[in-house]
C-alpha cells in the first residue's frame, strides 16, 4: 500500500511539473553553419534542429544537432550538442549553464563548455570557458556582446561581436581572434527569414586555411527557421 501511495505521489508530482514546463522544437535551414565567425560546414548549407525543455523555475535542458564538415580532420558528419542551465530575471536577466559538444562516429573531439551571461533590454553579454577545447588539452575563452531590436512590419535587427582567447588559440594561431556580425530578420507566418553579414579576424594557422575548411572570411549567411508547436495566432 505504501508503495502504491508513493507511486501515486510521484505521478502527481511529475504531472504538476509537466504542467509548469514547456517543450519546444526548432528546425533551421541555413546557407552556412557559422560558429563564432568560423564555418563548420566548409561554407556549405546545413540543416539544423533542436528540442528544448523549459520549466517555470528557470531550469532548461535541450539538444541541438547539425551536419558538419571539417575536411579531412576527424571523420565527422554530425554535431550533437547537449546542454542544461538556469535562466531568469526581468529587467536584468541571467543565464548560466553547461554544454557538451559531441560528434558521433568521429575521432574523439568531444568537449565541454560552461557559460554565464547577463542581459538588459536589447543588450546581452556572455562568457564561455572550456578547459579542453576540441579535446586538444588546451583551454579557451569566448566573450560576446549581442544586441537585438524589434522593428516595424515584422522586421528585426541584430548585432554581435565576440572574441576568442586562451591557450588553444595562442598555440594554433599565435593569438586570439575577433568576429562580428550584423543581421536582419523577417517574420513570415510561422517562419523566420534571416540574413546576416559575418566578418572578423582572418585566421591563418601554421599551414594556412585549406580552402573553405575552417574559413573565417567575410560572407553573407541566409537562413529559414520555424519553431514548434506553431502558434495559432
CATH number of domain containing 165: 2.40.160.160
Between CA 61 and CA 105 the distance in angstroms is 24
Percent of the chain with pLDDT over 90: 78
Residue 18 lies in a domain: no
Burial class for 226, CB neighbours closer than 10 Å (0-12, 13-18, 19+): middle
In the predicted model, what is the mean pLDDT of the chain? 90
Residue 168 lies in a domain: yes
Residue 149 lies in a domain: yes
Residue 134 DSSP one-character state: G
Check whether 93 has a pLDDT greater than 70.
yes
Check whether 188 has a pLDDT greater than 70.
yes
- Segment 171-180 shows an average pLDDT of 92
Check whether 7 has a pLDDT greater than 50.
no
pLDDT of residue 21: 72
Residue 42 DSSP one-character state: T
| Domain of 178, in residue numbers | 23-228
Instruction: Between 98 and 175, name the one with better pLDDT.
Output: 98
Residue 3 lies in a domain: no
> Three-state DSSP class for 167?
helix
97 grid coordinates: 549553464
Could you tell me the pLDDT band of residue 211, with boundaries at 50, 70 and 90? low
Buried b (16+ CB within 10 A) or exposed e, 118-143: ebeeeebebebebeebbbeebebbbe
Number of structural domains in the chain? 1
Residue 6 lies in a domain: no
Which residues, 6 or more positions from 207, have their beta carbon under 8 angstroms from its beta carbon?
none
Residue 124 lies in a domain: yes
Beta bridge partners of 82: 63, 100
pLDDT of residue 202: 83
pLDDT of residue 204: 66
Residue 14 lies in a domain: no
Q: Which one, of 149, 169, 151, lies nearest residue 159 by Cα?
A: 149
Could you tell me the pLDDT band of residue 15, with boundaries at 50, 70 and 90? very low
Q: Where are any strands of DSSP class E within 131-190?
A: 140-150, 155-165, 177-188
Among 29-33, 92-96, 130-134, 173-177, the range scoring the smallest mean pLDDT is 173-177
Between CA 194 and CA 148 the distance in angstroms is 13
Residue 116 lies in a domain: yes
Amino acid at each position: 500500500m505504501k508503495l502504491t501511495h508513493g507511486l501515486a505521489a510521484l505521478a502527481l508530482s511529475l504531472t504538476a511539473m509537466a504542467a509548469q514546463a514547456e517543450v519546444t522544437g526548432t528546425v533551421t535551414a541555413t546557407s552556412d553553419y557559422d560558429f563564432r565567425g568560423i564555418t563548420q560546414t566548409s561554407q556549405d548549407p546545413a540543416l539544423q534542429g533542436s528540442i528544448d525543455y523549459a520549466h517555470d523555475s528557470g531550469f532548461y535542458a535541450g539538444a541541438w544537432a547539425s551536419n558538419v564538415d571539417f575536411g579531412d580532420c576527424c571523420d565527422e558528419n554530425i554535431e550533437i550538442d547537449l546542454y542544461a542551465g538556469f535562466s531568469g530575471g526581468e529587467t536584468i536577466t541571467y543565464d548560466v549553464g553547461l554544454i557538451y559538444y559531441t560528434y558521433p562516429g568521429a575521432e574523439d573531439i568531444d568537449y565541454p563548455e560552461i557559460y554565464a551571461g547577463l542581459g538588459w533590454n536589447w543588450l546581452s553579454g556572455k562568457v564561455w570557458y572550456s578547459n579542453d577545447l576540441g579535446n586538444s588539452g588546451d583551454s579557451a575563452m569566448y566573450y560576446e556582446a549581442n544586441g537585438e531590436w524589434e522593428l516595424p512590419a515584422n522586421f528585426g535587427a541584430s548585432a554581435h561581436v565576440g572574441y576568442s582567447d586562451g591557450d588553444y588559440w595562442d598555440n594554433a594561431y599565435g593569438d586570439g581572434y575577433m568576429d562580428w556580425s550584423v543581421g536582419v530578420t523577417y517574420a513570415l507566418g510561422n517562419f523566420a527569414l534571416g540574413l546576416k553579414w559575418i566578418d572578423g579576424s582572418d585566421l591563418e594557422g601554421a599551414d594556412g586555411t585549406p580552402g573553405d575548411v575552417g574559413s573565417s572570411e567575410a560572407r553573407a549567411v541566409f537562413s529559414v527557421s520555424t519553431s514548434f508547436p506553431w502558434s495559432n495566432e
